Structures are given as structure tokens and as C-alpha cells.
Structure 1
Amino acid sequence: GRAQRWRRRRRRRRRRRPRPVPGPGDYLALDLGGTNYRVLLVRMRPPGQPPEIVENVYSVPGELMRGRGIDLFDFLAATIADFMAEHGAAHLAENPAAPLRLGFTFSFPCEQRGLASARLLGWTKGYSAEGVVGNDVCQLLQEAIDRRGLAARCVALVNDTVGTLAACALEDPACMIGLIVGTGTNAAYVERVAAVDKYSTELPAGESRVVINTEWGNFGADGCLERFRTDLDRQLDAASINPGRQTFEKLVSGMYLGELVRLAIQQLVSDGVLFDGRMPEALRQPMSFHTKYLSEPAHCGPRPAAGPPLDMMTVRCLCEAVSTRSAYLVATGISCLLKRIGSPDDVTVGIDGSLFKFHPHFPQRMIDKINELHPDAKFLLRLSEDGSGKGAAAIAAMA
């Protein structure tokens, strides 16, 4: 990835209370969020040195995704054993007196009851393994690890957005916000415990802050974003697999922006003002205009044969309008979090996701809108990749 930073302004930072950092050592990270599944061994090094990471990617068989939950978790434990053996690290998980610490990125809806306790609310992404919904997934994983005879302990269940924050904080202690804006979107931030009504878990002595996973993709379900929605947004929502849900995500994330442009093109073609009233064959099917086209500065999308320059300019303007709205809305959310945190010092926002990484104007448009909405904010936008791997291991190291 590109190690790029975007800063509003450079100011001398005030002295901060030191934050905990992971000590040197070896840690495991598991990343389960779809048909592919990762196992990572992360070797944390002294402060200032990047961690060493080795990883394997495994495909989860369909029969395990839809079969018995105990078989799915036994599969996860078996891959850990195979991974450790393949990389000559089996000895790290052989001492029950000093079990290998493990961070588990589990990208499904959960009610988190503690750092290493989370109840699955429901499967998504094609999973339906029985006997898991309503149960503690950390406990199910730990039981499978124990059945396998591995000396490893699941010490943290990690959301990928929280992991993004943690991965960034490894290199920048001023990171207090984690953001993902790619296929989907979400944000997490550091909050004072006193401001969290529902928080009841006991904290280590001296700690007064927790990380809040906002799940802001579903923001707007109560209708508060109607002023920003168009008829095309409502058309897209109605045709989606979850109408009336994930409203904010449908306005800003990569899963939907390309389809919004396609629907706009379709409307203009129907009105007879684009492509002589004939819809290009390549764009007739839903989701055929990929969001990656919005990130290409030279042109937007598959160019119809002999497309008139004015028509192509119109398509380019549609791409700009949809991507700019996305950047502005995301920036609005970040501006709210910056105000919520209320820090007089610089705050770093660790960001991952294809829209931020690959769209040539997305970062600057975010900066411009944050400056407009919160002129006094001192912030830095920083690319933070692999929160589900490096970030999960960092959290396990500090758990």
C-alpha cells in the first residue's frame, strides 16, 4: 500500500499521557469474514520497528459454512496447527504455562460483552452453521483450540474497524479514530468510559477510555438522512438485499457508488439526453458499472463505441458528483467524531479501504469538508492497512 499521509496543518503537539504499546513477542491473528479465512503469525518488535508478519489464506468449504458449528470451529483450529507446523512455529503453541495469545477478527454481527466475549447475533455472507447464533464465538473457538491440544488462548475478539485503529496506533499514538471506506464503511473511536452509559466491564487500573465501534453504516435508518437521498438512492435501496437498512453505507461505500452512477446514466438515457437515448449494452445489467471506474481520472467506466465527447464528459461529471458526495458525507461523520473527542491536540485518523486508497481526490475532499465543518480541528488522515491482521495481533498483545 501507499504510505501516504494527509495533514490539515502542522502544529506542535502537546504532551500526551503515554499510551500502552504491545511488547515484543509472537502473537496469532485469525481473520474470518467470508469464504476466505486468514491465519497470521505476527512478531512484534521493539518500539519504532515494524512487526514481522507471515500469513496463509484458506478457503472455507461450503459444507462447513452451512453445517455444524462445532465442525467449523474445529476446522479453524486445524488450520492453526497446520499453519504453525508449516512455518516452523509449532513450538510456540506447546507450552500450556505460556499460551500463545490470539486475536480473532470475526466480521459478523455480534453483541460484544468483553474483550474476549461476544455473542453471535446472526450469520451473514453465506454462513448458516448451526449451533453458533446466540453463543459466544470466542468460547467456541477456544474449545476447538483446546480439543486440538494447542497452547493458544483467544484473548480478544476484534472488529476490522477497531483493528484499523489499533494498526495505526502502533505507529502513531495520536490515532484516536479508525475508519474503513471501501466496499463497506464503518468507524471506531476512543471514548471516555464516563460518557458510555452501557459500559460495565472492569478496566485495568488507570485506564479511563474505551474504543467504541459505531457501526455507522446503518446510520439513517430513522430517516434523518432523507435530505441527502435522491430518487436514485431510493431505487437502489429498494432493489438491494436489505431495503431500509445500511442507509449511510448505501450513500458512501464502494459497493453501491458504481450502481448509483449506472442508474443516473439509465435515467438520462431514458430522458433522451445521453447516448442518443440508447443504453450501452455493457451497462444494461445491475451492478455492471464498477465503482473502480470512479477512481480513474482519465475516464469513467467502459467507454461506449464512438461515444460523443459531450456524453463522456457527462458521465465523468456523474462520477465526480457521486464520489464527492461520498467523501463529504464521510468527512461529516469524521468531523462529528473529532468534535466528540474534543482533543486540543492533533488527532490521527487511521483509514483503510479502496475508496480512500485509490480514488485520486477522495482524501483531499475529505480534508476540505472537515476544515469547513470544524475549522478548529487539528487532524491527520493516515493510511492504515491490515487492521484485521496486524491490528488484531496488536490488540491481543495488549490484552
Structure 2
Amino acid sequence: MEKRVVYTAATIAAVACVVAVIVIRKRSKGIKWGKVKEMFKEIESKCALPIERLKQIASAMETEMHAGLASDGGSKLKMLLSYVDRLPTGGEEGLFYALDLGGTNFRVLRVQLGGKEGGVVRQEYQEVSIPPHLMVGSSHDLFDFIAEALSSFVASEGEEYKVPEGKQRELGFTFSFPVKQLSLSSGTLIKWTKGFCIEETVGEDVVAELTKAMERQGLDMKVTALVNDTVGTLVGGRYEDGDVMAGVILGTGSNAAYVERASSIPKWHDELPKSGEMVINMEWGNFKSPLLPVTEFDEALDFESLNPGEQIYEKLISGMYLGEVVRRVLLKISEEFPIFGDIVPPKLESPFILRTPQMSGIHHDSSPDLKVVAKKLKETLGIHNTSIKTRKFVVDVCDMVAKRAARLAAAGIYAIIKKIGRDTLSDDKQRTVIAIDGGLFEHYTAFSDCLERTLRELLGEEVANSVVIKHANDGSGIGAALIAASHSN
């Protein structure tokens, strides 16, 4: 009886081996590139964004912008009031500080402004890592740690930074977590993200928490402004160029802020600001529409994410997700055809193993034999000995995903330009400048070039000549200091 069981198990193992060999031989017969391209074309058609569809997407976003300005909860776009109603003119003078808390590190900055003639006279900063235990500890301990770093930064100053008697130091606080803003200098935390989990801070005013911690440190400093990093990008850009009307983040995540007429904000019930303007934080990552080219790969990624059903637009255009979409496409195709050899590479089955910087390196390879592509596939995915045809195909997949993202981002910018009435030629031919920050825009040249070309298509050549895209480096830091300066007492 025992021999029969052993014999049966051995037989099953042998049959399994034979089946495996047959499958491998079948896959080894060669890649049917015609069939591969056919499958790719089908996926590509679902990602396609002809100009008319982009205009429809922009119109849908503009409609949502109106709804979000009319009432809280009226749209997927939150259209948050930033309470920034005075933008820098270039004439700001004095010493101002910024605290930029956006993740596991934070920066403290000191900015000396010299007015119209001097501009930014001096800018210094220090970066501090937050110990992991403070990210899940108590609110008291976290803000004490931050205030201590601020106090140490101030204590290291020389005589040239001495503050006049009776004057407080003023700080712009960039806090890149979901906040319900209550005024320019107050806002309650909705939820932590990015690995932080301190329940007692949720629902509390983060400016009040920081202020109490600074008082415990004996630091005489006032938080003049609480800002989002996108608003900071807009303000930093406006300081350099008075025609900046919007700030956009295209990095790991994505968002946009723009200058709106205060009279066009029905949900603003207070007295209109003297400037007649208000910066709006769109939170555009949450835009959703049946017009968006969502594929099976995007649906699966969204379903498996930490926030299914949310941030759909961001999942199509931001650096956090582009490499992952490429991986999913390559996995699906390699399961059907042996483009990477007789078996599916095990690493290709690992979520988020292919990051957008690696995707960018593959996409930008201009060598005749695509040796960078070969190197990236080997180092990142453990794929060896690829043919030139396979490498070219991988580049094509990267191009498809990046192009879709860039064209969608251009449609979002076009929606803002339409909303503020800058999509037609004016008599004075006024410039409209869009300040963009973020590693995706800065480092992924194929993405940024495609975005700019698409925006020109959407605007038409004549109007496009009056619209300028500018890279605004480090807007979130210096922008907070500038907002503090603009709203200084």
C-alpha cells in the first residue's frame, strides 16, 4: 500500500514536469511580435487622448471647480479656501522664517528679504529627520521636537539677524497633510498620512499645537500663515514673476492652486478681501470623471491601494504610480507572450518594484543598442539577455503611460486657464504664468516636454504664446516665508 502511494506521487510529479516542459517549449517557440503589438495597440487605444477628449476632460474639471466653489461637499474637488488674499509684490522686507513639514523630514528656513531692489538677500535652511517613534507617539512630543529644532536654528544666528525690541519673529508653516483651514493662521488636522499616526492630534489646530510647543521652548515666534505646499509654490513663483496665476505640484503626488476672484466664490460668506482675490487649493488629485482613460491596470491598482475610489486623477498622472502601471502592463503581456524568456520574471510580480525614476531612465535611453534599458531591466527586475526588440517594446510601454499622464496634466492646467478667463487673446496680451514644482516635472523630460506641447495644442498657437510654464524650485519652503511676509503685521 505504501509503495503504491509513493509510486502515485512520483507519477504525478513526473506528469507535472512533462506539462511544464511542454509549456516552456510552447513559449520558447519564439515571440509572435505581431500578436504582442496587437495586444499593445489595444491597451494603447484605451489610453489614447485625442485633443477633443482632452477638452471635454478640461470642461468637466471646470464644472467641478464651479461646484466646489459654490459649497463645501458640492464637488469631488474640495476647492479649499487658503485665506491667502495678499500675494507678494516684490517689495517685502525683513527677516522671516518657514517650517516645511511634509513627511519624515522637515526643514526650517530663514529668509532675509531686501525689498524691490534687494529681493531675497539671503536664504538658509536646515533639514531634520523625525525619529520613527515620534511619528506614532504623542502630539506633545512631536511638536516639542519640531520646536526644539526651530529654537536651535534661531539660537545659532549671528548679530545680523537680531530682531528689534518688541518685535516677534514671524513664521510661515507649510503643513502637507489634510487640514480643514479655519483662517490664514489656523487649521485642524483631518487625518495623518505618510506614516504618521498620532490620534490625539486629529481634530486639533496644528498651529495651536506648534505655538504651545514654541512657548515651552521659550521661543518668541508667531505663526503668521499656515499653508499647503501647492499654495507655497504659487506664492514663491509670484515673487519671482508677477504674472504667476497658478502653482502645480507634479511629483510623487499632484495638486494645484490658483488665484481666483473672491467674488466668484459663493461659499465665501465673509467680507470680500481688499485685494479682491483669494488663492484656492483645488486638491485636484481627487478629480473623477467617466471621460478619464481608466484601464484594467488602473482599476486593479486603485482596488489594491490604501484609498480605493479616491485620488483617481492623481493615480493617473503622479510619479507615485506611473512606474507601477508600466509594471502591470509588462506583467500582463509577459504572461501571454515570452517577451522576457520562458518564464515570467518573479520580480516583475512584485508591486511597486519599478519606480518612476527607473521608468524615466528607460524612457530617456538614446543609445543605439538601448544599453540603459538592458541595465535597468537587469538591476530592477532581474531580467537578463533581452533582445533589442524587447527593449524597444519596453520603451514603447513607458512612452504610452508617460504620454497619457502628461496630456491629462495639461488638461488640468488648461481647465484652470479657462476658469480664470485666460484661454482667449486679450487686447493687452497679458502673460499667464504657471509655476510647477516636483521631481516628475523637473527630472522626467519626456513627460514635461509632452505636457507643454499638449498645452499648446489645447490653447492654440496664438494664445499659447502668452502662457508660460516655469519651474518653481523649492516653492513650498520659501513660499511659506513669503506668505508670512505678505501678511505681516
- Tell me the TM-score normalised to structure 1 length: 0.89
For 1:125 and 1:348, the matched residues in 2 are separated by: 31
Note the 1:314-333 alignment, pairs <5 A. 314-333=393-412
Question: Is the contact made by 1:110 and 1:122 (CA closer than 8 Å) also made in structure 2?
Answer: yes
> AA paired with 2:115?
P
How much does 1:211 deviate? 0.5
Q: Deviations over 1:280-331 (max 9, x none)?
A: 3443321111211232211544243210111111100000010011100000
For 2:161 and 2:236, the matched residues in 1 are separated by: 27
For 2:126 and 2:476, the matched residues in 1 are separated by: 14
How much does 1:90 deviate? 10
How much does 1:89 deviate? 6.5
Q: What is the aligned-residue identity percentage? A: 39
Q: Name the SS of the counterpart of 2:377 in structure 1.
A: coil
For 1:162 and 1:19, the matched residues in 2 are separated by: 12
Tell me what 1:161 maps to.
230
For 2:338 and 2:455, the matched residues in 1 are separated by: 35
Tell me what 1:68 maps to.
138
Tell me what 2:279 maps to.
211
The question of 1:122 aligning with 2:187 is answered no
The correspondence for 2:148, drawn from 63, 74, 78, is 78
Tell me what 1:392 maps to.
480
For 2:213 and 2:163, the matched residues in 1 are separated by: 14
- The 1:212/1:51 distance shift into structure 2, 3 A limit, reads farther
The correspondence for 1:197, drawn from 266, 282, 292, is 266
> AA paired with 1:308?
S
Question: Is the contact made by 1:282 and 1:288 (CA closer than 8 Å) also made in structure 2?
Answer: yes
The correspondence for 1:137, drawn from 185, 188, 206, is 206
How much does 1:208 deviate? 0.3
Tell me what 1:239 maps to.
304
How much does 1:19 deviate? 6.3
For 1:289 and 1:226, the matched residues in 2 are separated by: 27
For 2:272 and 2:88, the matched residues in 1 are separated by: 15
For 1:117 and 1:394, the matched residues in 2 are separated by: 17
Question: Is the contact made by 2:88 and 2:238 (CA closer than 8 Å) also made in structure 1?
Answer: no
For 1:333 and 1:144, the matched residues in 2 are separated by: 40
- The 1:174/1:92 distance shift into structure 2, 3 A limit, reads same
The question of 1:54 aligning with 2:139 is answered no
The question of 1:372 aligning with 2:457 is answered yes
Tell me what 1:309 maps to.
388
| Unaligned stretches of 5+ residues in structure 1 | 1-17
For 2:447 and 2:321, the matched residues in 1 are separated by: 16
Deviates more, 1:363-372 or 1:154-163: 363-372
- The 1:211/1:354 distance shift into structure 2, 3 A limit, reads same
- The 1:387/1:93 distance shift into structure 2, 3 A limit, reads same
Structure having the larger proportion of residues in helix: 2
For 1:57 and 1:89, the matched residues in 2 are separated by: 23
For 1:105 and 1:347, the matched residues in 2 are separated by: 25
Question: Is the contact made by 1:295 and 1:359 (CA closer than 8 Å) also made in structure 2?
Answer: yes
- The 1:147/1:201 distance shift into structure 2, 3 A limit, reads farther
For 1:61 and 1:218, the matched residues in 2 are separated by: 31
Deviates more, 1:236-245 or 1:362-371: 362-371
- Tell me the TM-score normalised to structure 2 length: 0.73
Q: Deviations over 1:357-390 (max 9, x none)?
A: 1112223211221222222342100000112211
The question of 1:265 aligning with 2:330 is answered yes
Question: Is the contact made by 2:89 and 2:239 (CA closer than 8 Å) also made in structure 1?
Answer: no
- The 1:353/1:19 distance shift into structure 2, 3 A limit, reads closer
For 2:321 and 2:292, the matched residues in 1 are separated by: 19
Q: Deviations over 1:67-126 (max 9, x none)?
A: 22122222221111111122437964684x211110000011011121111111111122
Q: Deviations over 1:179-218 (max 9, x none)?
A: 111101001000000111222455553x101110000111
Tell me what 1:29 maps to.
98
How much does 1:277 deviate? 5.0
Deviates more, 1:132-141 or 1:256-265: 132-141
